[in-house]
Structure formats: C-alpha cells, structure tokens
Structure 1
Amino acid sequence: MLKKALFTIFCVGIRIASFGQFAPSDSTHNKSNQFTFGTVNNLLDFANDHLHLRYRSGGTTKKGFDCSGFVRYCFKNFGMILPHGSAAQSLLGYSVSRIEAQPSDLIFFKGHNAKGKRVGHVGIVTEVTDKYIKFIHSAWNGGVRYDYLDAAYYQKRFMGIKRVMNPADAKNIKIEKD
C-alpha cells in the first residue's frame, strides 16, 4: 500500500514537472497544453454525451466508468492525462473556493463514509451560479449523471474543488443547457 501511494505521488510529481500545466502562476508553460474557452465547452459537451452510461468499478471505457475513470477519460480526449484514482487526482492543481469554482474544475468528495477523511469520489464542475454548483460524475447508483453540491448526500461528503487548468481559459463560461 505504501509503495502504491509513493508511486502515485512520484508519477504526479513527474507529470507536474514535465508539463507545468498545473502551476497557476507559471506563464512560461507550454501553450499547447492549455485548455481554451472552446475546449472547456467541448469538454463539458463531451462529458454530457456520456450521460447514463453505467457505473463499473475500475471502469475507464464506454463499457462502464468509475468516477475517476470517467474524469480521466473526458480530460484525456482533450490531451490532458490525469491519473486514475480520485485520491491521486486530488493531488493535482490547486484549491479554489466554492465562490471561485468554474466549469471544468474537479470537485472531490469522501467515499460512502461521510465521517471518513479520505477522498473517495470525483466529478467535473459543469455549472456555477450564486445558488448552486452542478457537476457531472459517474456514481455507483446511476452511472454518469448530474448532481448538485447542495444535495444533502454531497454536502456531507464535500472535500474541495481543484483547478487543473489555466484559470484564464475558463473565466466567465456559462453553460446554456437545460
């Protein structure tokens, strides 16, 4: 278990050092690895195209996704490789408050045990208003679907929001679905 954790930290460190795309104030990073306004909307549309696909433990394909497999699959389609595992994904990027949250940020939760202290679930923020945060994720009870942070189940398990892309690229994005 310790070897697996150290390996994950090592891989995340290599990823950050190699591409620098998770450093919020680094203006010298490779522009080709940045998301753009259009890419954020395309990412969210791509995620939406997978609604109702079934949950599958360890799943990383259209045959079924677990939560981190779904997030990884969506970002990989746009050239950004994330690790598989919600805890490993939570080590990336930098924390933002609920007020600063933007579409394409990752949102993290505890697993089934609301009293736990470890990240056990991840989704992609799709919409932020002054009243709610909406996200898409793959849940064991429903597969790929939308939920809201203010739902009691998720409020009790909320752990934080991380930005894994350049914040300037996602500013003021509004999703006009529903």
Structure 2
Amino acid sequence: MKKKVSMILAGLVLLLAFQAGSAFASASKMDGIIDDLIGTRYSYGGTSTKGFDCSGFTGYVFDKMGIDLPRRSVDQASEGTKVAKADLKPGDLVFFDTSGSNNGGISHVGIYVGDGNIAHASTSKGVTIDKLDSSYYKSRFVTARRVMDEETFKTYAEAVK
C-alpha cells in the first residue's frame, strides 16, 4: 500500500511540474545552482565560490540566471516588487534585520527556495538552507522582493532547454 501511495504522489509531482512549465524549469535550475554552493564558507565581502557573504551569495546565484543585483543587501531590498511573506515563491529575495537593533534595518538577505526554506550565506555555517520561520529568522524578517517576473522565468527556461 505504501508503495502505491508513493507512486501516486510521484505521479502528482510530475504532473504539477509539467503544468508549472517555465517557472518550474527556472526554479529547478536555481535549485541546482544553490545545491552546488551548499557548504561554501562564509567570507565577509565574498562574492565567489572561495567564500560568500549574504549579498555576495544572492548576487552570484542571480548572476548565473542573467539577473544583475546591487552588491549590498540593503540595495537589493529596493529591487523588483514587494511581496507579502504569505505570497513567497521560489526565487524571491527575503530580507532580515540581524543586527540586533530590531529597527527594521536590512542586514541580511537570502533566497526563498520553497517549502518554508531559505538559502543564504550564514556567518556560522556558510551557504546553507534554514527554515524561514525558525525562532531566529521569524522575528527578524523585514521584507521580501520578487526580482524574477514571469517573462524572466520564460526566457530563462528557454535558455536551459
């Protein structure tokens, strides 16, 4: 019975992937880029696979997808369009106040990767995946921005075919 349920779920996942079209292809490519970077060490000011800081990481990932972002997280927070936390989609940038001041200032950025998870460059773990609603990030969330529109998804999906 468990095997039958697993096969049905796998079929549904494939069907949803097919229906999602270009957005799925772009998200999958983004996931591949991020997966290759997991474990890369943290380096203040880092923008390469030798080491990343948070905005260096997001800039690197989006550059691989043909999207230029400003260098600093505070500047990245003005790109694209604002997105409510409840409406996040994979590829959205998420911004936090990790400075301890809790004044709503931007001091950290990550990429929403779906299922309540963010990819980011952590000072303690390097490039990693964490829960957006973890006890640490939940209270520090400031805003989110969508820098990839549907046309960008479509263009990028065609490029990776």
Would you call these one fold, judging by a TM-score over 0.5?
yes
Q: Which residue of 1 aligns with 2:53?
A: 66
> Which one has the bigger helix percentage?
2
> Could you tell me how far apart the structure 1 residues matched to 2:87 and 2:150 are?
10
**TM-score calculated relative to the size of structure 1:** 0.69
Cα RMSD of the aligned pairs, angstroms, is: 1.7
How many residue pairs get matched? 132
- Determine what percentage of the aligned residue pairs are the same residue: 35
Residue 158 of structure 1: aligned partner:
141
Does 2:58 match 1:78?
no
**Pairing 1:64-143 to 2, within 5 Å after superposition:** 64-128=51-115, 133-143=116-126
Q: Retained in 1: the 8 A contact 2:23–2:150?
A: no
**Distance across 2 between alignment mates of 1:49 and 1:166:** 24
Check whether the contact 1:114–1:156 (CA below 8 A) recurs between aligned residues: no
Displacement of 1:74 in angstroms is 0.5
Question: Aligned equivalents of 1:112 and 1:52: distance in 2?
Answer: 23
Q: Is residue 27 of structure 2 the alignment partner of residue 44 of structure 1?
A: no
Gaps of 5+ in 1: 1-34, 171-178
For structure 2, the residue ranges without an aligned partner over 5 or more in a row are: 1-21, 154-161
Query: Structure 2: which amino acid aligns with 1:143?
Result: G
Secondary structure at 1:108's aligned position in 2?
strand
Instruction: Name the aligned partner's letter for residue 117 of structure 1.
Output: G
Q: Given the alignment of the two structures, is residue 144 of structure 1 paired with residue 144 of structure 2, yes or no?
A: no
- Normalised to the residue count of structure 2, the TM-score between the two structures is 0.76
State the Cα distance separating 1:169 from its structure 2 match: 6.7
